[in-house]
Amino acid sequence: MSTAPEGYDPHAYTPFAVTVDLAVFTVRAGRLHVLLVERGEAPYKGRWALPGGFVLPRESAEEAARRELAEETGLTQRSVRAFHLEQLRTYSDPDRDPRMRVVSVAYAALVPDLPEPKGGGDAAHARWWETGGTGPLAFDHDRILTDAYGRVGARLEYTCLATAFCPPEFTLGELQRVYETVWGVELDRPNFRRKVLATPGFVQAVEGPPRRTGGRGKPAALYRAGAATALHPPLLRPEGRPEGRTTP
């Protein structure tokens, strides 16, 4: 064959375009939402797609993803830095873009409830869509979105990532609603509370007696995300659907 086994012959490679695609998730009004942009050009003109763009000559895919995240949400690079961004996998089917050979590194981002992306240039045609209500997306983005959704659900089981959907200070009820929304199940509140509080470093009680109401009920104590990143033992989602919906 033409490939050298132990090295790369700089003269024997095929040039590819490399892009990043982002599945930006948020929980809003008890529903999982994803950020999509409307395509203004062929192919797939008028279809919705995951935000993304080319990796620039001197940046890594991670840096490109972070830059795109700031552009599409309309926020500054600085404020976007706190958001959880995680590489999903790379999509490289030769025909995934009809125009040229494009390899795309997909990322999932978990953000708290943000205002509708408004303002200037790039984010002009961006909006939040409820997952499940998205029509067929451009390119292979349905597949990417499905993979991303599955990954987020699985990550909630073994990590403390659910707090990434919450504002800096949150109640245990809000945290529980993250799980219920992403997994599409109902959880027992006392048991959820016990589990979260028994996991060292998952959440951290906010000092003083500040409390906040979620409507009309007893005000809830506030917590911050703790230092822990993994969940031992995991918080497994109830049996029945190991994968949740396969098509979001």
Partner DNA sequence: TTAATAGTGTCTGTAAGACAATATTAT
Partner DNA sequence: ATAATATTGTCTTACAGACACTATTAA
Contact set with DNA (CB under 7 A): 171-173, 188-191, 193-195, 198, 211, 213-221, 233, 235-236, 238, 244-247
The site partner of 171 among a second copy, DNA, none (C-beta below 5 to 8 Å per kind) is: DNA
Q: How far is the CB of 224 from DNA (least distance, A)?
A: 14
Q: Pick between residue 135 and residue 209 the one whose CB is nearest to a second copy.
A: 135
Q: How far is the CB of 53 from a second copy (least distance, A)?
A: 3
Q: Report the 10 Å Cβ neighbour count for 2.
A: 7
Q: How far apart are CA 225 and CA 213, in angstroms?
A: 19
The site partner of 55 among DNA, a second copy, none (C-beta below 5 to 8 Å per kind) is: a second copy
Q: How far is the CB of 132 from DNA (least distance, A)?
A: 23
Within 13 Å, how many C-alpha atoms sit on residue 119's CB side? 10
Q: What is the CA radius of gyration of the chain?
A: 20
Q: Pick between residue 30 and residue 121 the one whose CB is nearest to a second copy.
A: 121
Q: Which tokens hold the place of 28? A: 């809003």
The site partner of 217 among DNA, a second copy, none (C-beta below 5 to 8 Å per kind) is: DNA
The site partner of 214 among DNA, a second copy, none (C-beta below 5 to 8 Å per kind) is: DNA
SS3 110: strand
The site partner of 235 among DNA, a second copy, none (C-beta below 5 to 8 Å per kind) is: DNA
Q: Which tokens hold the place of 135? A: 């029509």
The answer to whether the CB of 185 falls within 8 A of the CB of 159 is no
Q: How far is the CB of 189 from DNA (least distance, A)?
A: 4
The answer to whether the CB of 51 falls within 8 A of the CB of 72 is yes
Is residue 211 within a helix (H) or strand (E), and if so which, with residue range? strand 211-212
Q: How far is the CB of 90 from DNA (least distance, A)?
A: 34
The site partner of 97 among DNA, a second copy, none (C-beta below 5 to 8 Å per kind) is: a second copy
- 164 by Cβ neighbours in 10 Å (0-12 / 13-18 / 19+) ranks as buried
Q: Pick between residue 41 and residue 207 the one whose CB is nearest to a second copy.
A: 41
Q: How far apart are CA 25 and CA 22, in angstroms?
A: 9
Q: How far is the CB of 62 from a second copy (least distance, A)?
A: 7
Q: How far is the CB of 30 from a second copy (least distance, A)?
A: 27
- Torsion 7-102-35-65 (CA) sign: positive
Q: How far apart are CA 187 and CA 216, in angstroms?
A: 21
Q: Pick between residue 48 and residue 223 the one whose CB is nearest to a second copy.
A: 48
Q: Can you name the residues that pair with 37 across neighbouring β-strands?
A: 49, 126
User: Which residues here bind a second copy, judged by CB under 8 A?
Assistant: 1-8, 10, 12-19, 37-41, 49, 51, 53-62, 67-68, 71-72, 87, 89-90, 92-94, 97, 99-103, 105, 121-123, 125-126, 158, 230, 232-234, 236, 239, 242
